[in-house]
Amino acid sequence: MATNRTFTMIKPDAVQNGHIGNILAMITNGGFKIVSLKLTQLTVADAQEFYAVHAARPFYGELVEFMSRGPIVAAILEKDNAVEDFRTLIGATNPAEAAEGTIRKAYATSIGENAVHGSDSDENAAIEGAFHFAGREQF
């Protein structure tokens, strides 16, 4: 995957609360092109693997339970400087610290249930995109 791509999930809280359309609008209005998109659901094992980097954290069990409890939207996004610019668009992990105009400011309800995921590096963007999408699903 090119380094001008990032990976996102609209998390189960935001899907359940009916925010898919508004969040996708914020993403495209923010200058990101959607190159892969699907509604899917993580199994417990999928969520454990996806967030394995956090396995030693106290919130890991809660995070896995949350991320596997309902449907998510997975997407690969393209833009110059995609990883960093998308982290700016989603805002701080804790919505209480998220800037005005960010997705988490608008739709996150807590530090755990914070509406969206954004990859934290080009390397992880490629790994996470490949976790969810076959090559023929990446446009």
Other beta carbons less than 10 A from residue 33's beta carbon: 14
87 is in an annotated binding site: yes
Binding segment (CB under 6 A) for ligand RTP, from list 20-28, 40-48, 76-84, 113-121: 113-121
136 is in an annotated binding site: no
* Residue ranges in 47-106 that form contacts with ligand RTP under rule CB under 6 A: 54, 59, 63, 93
Q: Does residue number 117 form part of the binding site for ligand RTP (CB under 6 A)?
A: yes
Spatial distance between the Cα atoms of 93 and 100, rounded to a whole number of angstroms: 14
Q: Does residue number 139 form part of the binding site for ligand RTP (CB under 6 A)?
A: no
* Catalytic status, residue 117: yes
Q: ∠ CA 11-30-49 to the nearest 5 degrees?
A: 30
Spatial distance between the Cα atoms of 116 and 129, rounded to a whole number of angstroms: 15
Residue list for the binding site: 11, 59, 87, 93, 104, 114
